[in-house]
Amino acid sequence: MSQFAILIYEDPSFYETMPPEGWATVVDAHRTFTEHVAELGGSLTGGGALAPVTTATTIKRGDTATNGPFVRSREALLGYYVVEARDLDHAVELAKLCPASGGGVEVRPLVDTATNPF
């Protein structure tokens, strides 16, 4: 099995304007997703939600630090999962089930630096 990151990109305003009962629906959708990963033969090895983009600090080339995200766009990286899957096709199958109503997801293989030091 290989490891893949499922990166969740969404419009932060989707959550800023969400009523409290909407948050419960989002949490339930993510719980269901984690159950489906196991049902489809994958395993969840990590993940998390990120604090709002407004809390980001960006370091650019050297030591220049600025408040805010690196990229100015409507969608931002708001969370991630790390899954073990048979191959990229399997990881994509799992990622298609990942809730991202306010945007989409990106799948990337993790590099095993013990065997592939770039």
What pLDDT digit, counting tens, does each position of 47-81 carry? 999 998 888 887 876 666 556 555 556 788 999 99
pLDDT at 1: 87
Point out the residues of the chain with pLDDT beneath 50. Answer: none
CATH number for the domain formed by residue range(s) 2-109: 3.30.70.1060
**Nearest-CA neighbor of 15 among 96, 97, 103, 81?**
103
Q: How far, CA to CA in Å, does 117 sit from each of 68, 83, 97, 112, 114?
A: 31, 21, 31, 8, 6
pLDDT at 93: 96
Contacts of 18 (CB under 8 A, 6+ apart): 26
Both tokens of 38, joined, read 């196991």
pLDDT at 5: 97
pLDDT at 95: 96
pLDDT at 86: 97
- Alpha carbon distance 82, 13 (integer Å): 25
- Alpha carbon distance 79, 33 (integer Å): 14
Residues in the chain: 118
